[in-house]
Each structure stands twice: as C-alpha cells, then as structure tokens.
C-alpha cells in the first residue's frame, strides 16, 4: 500500500474509532502527544493520547464523522499533511441534532512503518442545530 492510501486508511480508522468510542483502536491511529482542536463549535482543544481517549469515551452525544475529498501532501518520507472536507452529525440525549460542515487540517507521521495522526484541527464553515426526539 502506498503512503497516500495508508494515510487515507488511518484517517478512516481514526474516525470510526472516535464514532464508536473505541479507545483501543484510537491508540493505534495517533501518536502519544496527539493534539486535537475542534474549535469553539466543537469540544475545543485536547493534548495527549490519554486526555483524548477520555474526551472520546465521555462524549455526551452520538456522533458520526465523515472526512471526504482528501488533499494529502507528503512533506518528507515520514511526515505528511492533509485537508479533508468534513460532515459531522451529532444527536444529544435530549434529541437535538447538530449538522456541521467544515475542513480538517491534519498532520501525520510515519512511526514504526505505520502512519498516525499527529494533529487534527477542525475549521467550521457551517453548523445548524435542530430540536428533536430523545434518543431511544
């Protein structure tokens, strides 16, 4: 598998792990000092794998993240950066739904032959909230 495809795979695995709150899988997709910033429209900043795993496991909403249309650039044999279009859907316990759209600006590092996320920064373009029915 080439490096670009491997980066696409780790990004997909990371989002699936976040959506399913699989912290063991998350640990295989990020470096130990992973930095995440989803801005004021999200849950803000988190530094380090342990704090990020706590963040994922305590997320109060059901969330589904889609990362689309990757623009990936290899910056060295062991580093890369990527921009992804994002659609995020979340449903809170009170039934409210949130649809958000934006872009991930991520960096990656090849560690021990495997690509991992080093940073994730989300820039929101649009978010909308809708009242709804409680989660069953």
Q: How many CB atoms lie within 10 A of CB 59?
A: 14
Digits of tens for pLDDT over the chain (136 positions)? 799 999 999 999 999 999 999 999 999 999 999 999 987 656 668 889 999 899 888 887 899 999 999 999 999 999 999 999 999 999 988 888 989 999 999 999 999 999 999 999 999 999 998 887 755 5
Which pLDDT score, from 0 to 100, does residue 41 have?
58
Q: Quick one: residue 21, left, alpha or beta (phi over 0 = left, psi -120 to 50 = alpha)? A: left
Return the structure tokens found at 34: 């992973």
Fold of 3-104: Nuclear Transport Factor 2; Chain: A, (3.10.450)
Entry pTM: 0.90
Which pLDDT score, from 0 to 100, does residue 70 have?
98
């Amino acid at each position: 598998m080439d490096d670009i495809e491997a980066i696409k795979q780790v990004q997909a695995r990371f989002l699936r792990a976040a959506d399913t709150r699989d912290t063991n899988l998350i640990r295989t997709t990020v470096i130990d000092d992973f930095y995440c910033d989803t801005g004021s429209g999200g849950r803000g900043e988190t530094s380090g794998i342990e704090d990020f795993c706590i963040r994922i496991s305590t997320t109060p909403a059901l969330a589904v993240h889609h990362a689309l249309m990757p623009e990936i650039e290899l910056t060295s044999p062991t580093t890369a950066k990527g921009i992804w279009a994002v659609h995020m859907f979340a449903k809170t316990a009170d039934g409210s739904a949130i649809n958000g759209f934006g872009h991930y600006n991520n960096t990656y590092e090849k560690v021990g032959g495997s690509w991992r996320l080093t940073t994730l920064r989300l820039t929101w373009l649009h978010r909308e909230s809708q009242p709804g029915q409680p989660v069953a």
